[in-house]
Structure 1
Amino acid sequence: MDLRIFTEPQQGASYDTLLTVAKATEDLGFDAFFRSDHYLAMGSSDGLPGPTDAWITLAGLARETRRIRLGTLMTAGTFRLPGVLAIQVAQVDRMSGGRVELGLGAGWYEAEHTAYGIPFPKEKFGRLEEQLAIVTGLWETEVGATFDFDGKYYRLADSPALPKPAQPKVPVLIGGLGASRTPRLAARYADEFNVPFASVADSERQFGRVRAAAEEAGRKPDDLVYSNALVVCVGKDDAEVARRAAAIGREVDELKANGLAGSPAEVVDKIGRYAEIGASRVYLQILDLDDLDHLELISAEVQAQLG
């Protein structure tokens, strides 16, 4: 089971804070550092010191880390034109020596678009489908050839389709709980399918839909990686769990029901239930980015047991 660290910097984090967490992620043996792609805090957080851009952050981390994978859950399709995104991701992949992964979603949080003057189109899923076709098509175009695309939302003509990523193929992540269009899109474009913040039962149901869609598309279902994203709150004892839950404004019982919370043994057991239904990777949503002791505990007493 791969354990990856997943951060939500829009809730309040500077680049220096993210760098510290990314370096701890690497030093403690986790597989990857991922971040959300949002420009506005959610809930009661004031968001200070203000948002950081996902791909500018990852570019910096690409030069300041050496081993961990780097990526987004999920880049908002509404934030970037697909040709520009293909260039950005390819460049960061080269800056990292081939360690980047692209999670791409349709975008959903209208308030952040309003706050920063970003258009928020009504039809986002159709745009996402074209974005995936364009980004992957640009990367797959042979050097010296050109790429053209004539869609409903985007048109590219005579694109040199440069630069190329360092990796032969940048892994593409698609996720969500949509019952039909999302699995179909994953079957066509995804290397990994992610179910965010869902129960074991709901995850199993969605993995099944994606597997069926992959078979229908002529792919082997096991060609995809299946993963979950879950909030994590681990403590050596009940008091420490309660303290960490309070620090992120959550209740222990709710976290145990909807995430990975409790003692290391409890968390290992629950991760095992996700593994039983086909998950081979878990993104641990870390909401208190100043609590590096939390990462150390997870590394020493959760990750160590999962091998």
Structure 2
Amino acid sequence: MVNSTITFGLQSGQQDSTWADIRDLWLELEEMNFDHLWVYDHYLPTGTNDIDVPVLDSWSLLAALSQIVKTPRLGTLVTSNTFRHPVTLAKMITSLDHISNGRAILGIGAGWHKPEHTAYAIPFSTPKDRIERLDETIQIIKQLWSNKRTTISGKHFKIDNAPFEPKTVQKPHPPILIGGGGEKHTLRIVAKHADDWNWNLNGTINDYKRKLDILNQHCAAVSRDPNEIKLSLNVDFLVDNDDNRIESALRVNADVMKKSIEEVKACSMVGSPEVVRSKIQSYVDLGVTSFIFSLRNPFGVKSTDQMPNKEPRPLRYHATMSDVRRLCQYVLPHFRN
């Protein structure tokens, strides 16, 4: 791991939300002292059976939010590499880095949500091909950020003697977070390029240990010290002493995810403050230094611990602002003091 400081962030998926919803949420989150805040990068909503709800653009939101929240780092968890040309993406991140005075993070992945690609006729090729494109994209962006002129002739992209100004505020460049857990291809790209590897916690701690071992092998293959790569997790969570609510949430999510309740418990941080603290500590012991908690609408400041009554409901039971407040009051101080 890069350092032993534990940081905490929150990802607010911006589906079914207005600008005012997200603005007010982020203002409250900044007051809660989150170290980094994230949006997701989708054209269609995820985790719901209603695809007609609004979804605001990720990078436009971050530029606007950077002028309202002044302290947290800002990023996408994660940018879909299939949506934009590498030069366009590099320019967007560079612009955000200037607008935010050096707080931008490039979170990026190969792209996975096929329905939005189908709906908008965005090419969606094989996983191997998408990983190759991701590899080329990151190579191009890093060179644009570093070189006076960039020339690359790859399988997917060709850049010919291209200038790129301005450079980023952060030196040598904004942190590059690569999301994903694919052991053959994605972790190889992490070993080559990532400043931060983020895994969306969807397995057991033994699954994570195995992936760490494989990442170390990929690092050895490219002669890279794995300790240079920060480890982060994106996690679903609920913090509550109400056993009935916790069990209800686990049953709903187990049914949707086609897993047992015990399997859902293993791949989320759900339970009393003591249980959630213990789960965080188990990953800290493995070298994880950054935790990003996932929040979905309804996340208004008056939201309750109940599932929304409107139809169609979200497919999964998500945390509310009440959970966030309990997280900040009873869990995070244990790691910050």
TM-score normalized by structure 1? 0.91
Corresponding residue for residue 135 of structure 1: 141
Corresponding residue for residue 4 of structure 1: 9
What whole-Å deviation, never above 9, does each CA across 1:161-189 have from its counterpart, x for those lacking one? 22311111210011322222222211111
What whole-Å deviation, never above 9, does each CA across 1:125-178 have from its counterpart, x for those lacking one? 11111101011111111xxx2111111110111211223111112100113222
**Where does the alignment leave 5 or more consecutive residues of structure 1 unmatched?**
none
Shift of 1:7: 2.3
Shift of 1:20: 2.1
Higher helix share: 1
State the alpha-carbon separation in 1 of the partners of residues 52 and 265 from structure 2.
28
Q: Number of matched residues?
A: 301
State the alpha-carbon separation in 2 of the partners of residues 106 and 303 from structure 1.
31
Indicate yes or no: 2:280 matched with 1:271: yes
Identical positions, percent = 30
State the alpha-carbon separation in 2 of the partners of residues 61 and 249 from structure 1.
33
Matched-pair contact (CA < 8 Å) for 1:231–1:255: no
Corresponding residue for residue 221 of structure 2: 216
Matched-pair contact (CA < 8 Å) for 2:145–2:164: yes
Matched-pair contact (CA < 8 Å) for 1:62–1:96: yes
Instruction: Pick the aligned partner of 1:250 from 232, 240, 253.
Output: 253
Indicate yes or no: 2:164 matched with 1:155: no
Instruction: Pick the aligned partner of 2:324 from 289, 295, 298.
Output: 295
Compare relative contact order (CA 8 Å, sep 6+) and give the higher one, 1 or 2.
2
**Where does the alignment leave 5 or more consecutive residues of structure 2 unmatched?**
1-5, 255-260, 301-319
Corresponding residue for residue 259 of structure 1: 268
The one-letter amino acid of 2:9's match is: R
Matched-pair contact (CA < 8 Å) for 1:207–1:226: no
Matched-pair contact (CA < 8 Å) for 1:233–1:255: no
Matched-pair contact (CA < 8 Å) for 2:205–2:266: no
Q: 1:298 to 1:80 in 2, by over 3 A?
A: same
| 3-state SS, counterpart of residue 64 of structure 1 | coil
State the alpha-carbon separation in 1 of the partners of residues 82 and 37 from structure 2.
23
Which deviates further from its counterpart, 155-164 or 54-63? 155-164
CA RMSD of aligned residues (A): 2.1
Matched-pair contact (CA < 8 Å) for 2:62–2:74: yes
TM-score normalized by structure 2? 0.83
Corresponding residue for residue 178 of structure 2: 174
Q: 1:43 to 1:66 in 2, by over 3 A?
A: closer
